[in-house]
Structure 1
Amino acid sequence: MPRPRSSQISLEDTPYYHCCSRLVRRAHLCGDDKYTGKNYDHRRGWVEAQILKLTEVFAIDVAAYAVMSNHLHLVLYIDLDTVNIWSDREVVEQWHKCFKGTDLTQNFAKGEVIDQYQVDELKHLIATYRSRLIDISWFMRCLNEPIARQANHEDNCTGHFWEGRFKSQALLDEAAVLACMAYVELNPIRAKVAQTPESSDYTSLQLRIKAALKGKQPVKLLPFIGNEHGHQAKGINFDLKDYLELVDETGRILRDDKRGAISANTVRILTRLNITSDNWIKLTTDFGKLFHGPVGTLPELTSYCEHLEKRRRHFSQCCQYLQAS
């Protein structure tokens, strides 16, 4: 039986979550439809554009994504600090980027004077919007629903476009985050729809590579900020160059026609993550098969289960892949 989303989110343990949505219907509705001969790749562009748009609305950052022909993957970072420092007006303005709100919130956003008897109602609405702006379920709703409407309009039909529930799993430590990001971004290479990371369309990896060639990072993705130190901006505590090398070498190994080996420099990164080369390849190849729940080392998984009052540590056997021995 599916578990409530609230029972899978623990910001006390991690702000990182891996989400996956799959399409219904028989055809591949975002790629080549072998039954009709039509190509729907332009819909993958719709999805990518909506993902990047929502990073300007929610206090949720995108660390990685891949839009495939019949499903999409996201690695999301819930930015609790940002949503807490937004003023009440900023919260309303952010919400209005996706939703109309109410006459009361519209008037408040315009700077009009609010009658005293409406103040409590306004405060309740603002508190509701603030909580939704860090809610993964609302993020995925704002991502999936517009795409479904566009696709149904194009197909001149009605009904479900996405499966009813999206998959969500907590990533409990940096090894889980990096392994999941690489797994997500290498989806096109594993599926043999791309030969190289830079040719992997509709992925965050392609955006990062294009920006890196200009000495920059994509403004709409959670940045890599190097090794962790005090008073540091939010981001992934690894060097971008190291990560791109790691993913490139991993992609070469995953390709059947171009075998490769983990270099000494990349082994150094895996040593920091406390993951062996063999385990890293296993993770980036079979992450989706290995883990159907929270991902992390056994101590992290134990802490997560305790905070959410879970009696059993499901999937604990797969923790072995996130440690050197």
Structure 2
Amino acid sequence: MSNHLHLVLRIDPGETLRWSEDEVAARWVRLFPPREDSDAAIEAKCLRLQANPERIETLRERLGSLSWLMRCLVEPIARRANREDGCKGRFWEGRYKCQALCDERAILAAMTYVDLNPIRAGMADRLETSTYTSAAERVTQVREDPASATSPLKPIAGRLRPTVDITTADYLHILDWTGRQLAPGKRGRISPDAPAVLANIDRDGTRWTTRVAAFNSGWHRAAGSAQDLIALAERMGQQWLAGIRLALKLGVKHRERTGRPAGGMARG
């Protein structure tokens, strides 16, 4: 977007604990290479890091940190944009915020919200023209390889298992239909020709579009069923969590297959 971005991601801080000191050093140097772009300089920097166990443990923690992921992503973009504009100062809207996505339905709703953001903002009028979205990348992929349309929906980046139990074509159909319902001037209008697969995700079309739109205002620290949000509030030592009332209104009475947060959406 013009001053912020959205990511739907899965993060496992414990993954870094299984990495050797060599791998921690190598990954860090790929993120922050030496000024001299040569194999010798890269190897020398890795060796210096490996010789400092305390530094390695600090880097191990950072490589599993969402805060550092966002920092490594947004700082270079801000610096480049300011250089291009010949200006200084803050480029992004504000510090990043994140929400836990507690089940597959919440993950899919967040993905839908993110992919439709440029269209709702009037920056694009079709999925394939919404630059820098996974939707545009998926449309291109299907055009180049039609057989991929029937493949399980997978993350755009990373070697992860399928995000939700639908195909790429199913997801694109859901995106197209949801975008028409949430288009400016059409809020609340639900057509009867919803994709059949949507019935497996949310039997009520109005409830589905409400769930997606709630990422703009409604969901806060987490999105999911009321039971998941209540459990999360208890783990945080709170009696209530913003969004529980919305979850109750949506009538989600049963937990999904996973009982723990399955992913998250970060906004920077």
Provide the TM-score with structure 2 as the length reference.
0.75
Q: CA deviation at 1:125?
A: 2.2
Contact 1:133–1:139 (8 Å) recurs in 2: yes
State the shift of 1:187 in Å: 0.8
Q: Tell me the equivalent position of 2:206.
A: 278
Q: Is the 8 A contact 2:224 2:247 kept in 1?
A: yes
Equivalent position of 2:164 in the other structure? 237
| Structure 1 residues without counterparts, runs of 5 or longer | 1-67, 224-232
List alignment gaps of at least 5 residues for structure 2: 35-41, 254-268
Look up the match of 1:221: 157
Corresponding residue of 1:140: 70
Whether 1:178 aligns to 2:108 is: yes
Kindly state the Cα deviation for residue 297 of structure 1 after the two structures are TM-superposed: 0.8
Alpha-carbon spacing, 1:165–1:154, altered in 2? closer, same or farther (3 Å) = same
- TM-superposed CA distance for 1:206, in Å, is 0.5
| Among candidates 169, 188, 205, match of residue 135 of structure 2 | 205
Q: Distance in 1 between matches of 2:58 and 2:243?
A: 34
Output the CA distance in 2 between the equivalents of 1:151 and 1:183. Answer: 25
TM-score for both structures, normalised by structure 1: 0.63
User: Which deviations, in whole Å up to 9, do the C-alpha atoms of 1:35-80 show, x marking residues without a partner?
Assistant: xxxxxxxxxxxxxxxxxxxxxxxxxxxxxxxxx1232111111145
Judged with a 3 Å threshold, the aligned counterparts in structure 2 of structure 1 residues 93 and 246 are, in CA distance, closer, same or farther, namely same
Alpha carbons 2:155, 2:162 under 8 Å: kept: no
- Is the CA contact (8 Å cut-off) linking 1:169 and 1:292 kept in structure 2? yes
1:138, CA displacement in angstroms? Answer: 0.6
Asked whether the equivalents of residues 208 and 218 of structure 1 are also in contact (C-alpha less than 8 Å), the reply is no
Q: Determine the structure 2 residue equivalent to 1:11.
A: none
Counterpart in 2 of 1:9? Answer: none
- For 1:90-109, what aligned pairs fall within 5 Å after superposition? 90-100=23-33, 107=44, 109=46
Contact 1:80 1:134 in 2 (8 A): yes
Identity %: 37
Partner secondary structure for residue 250 of structure 1: helix
- 1:288 paired residue among 209, 212, 216: 216
Q: Which has the higher contact order (CA 8 A, sep 6+)?
A: 2
Q: Which amino acid aligns with 2:177?
A: E
Measure the CA separation in 2 of the matches of 1:316 and 1:262: 29
Matched, 1:78 2:11: yes
Cα RMSD of the aligned pairs, angstroms, is: 3.1
The aligned length equals 237
Paired residue secondary structure (2:77): helix
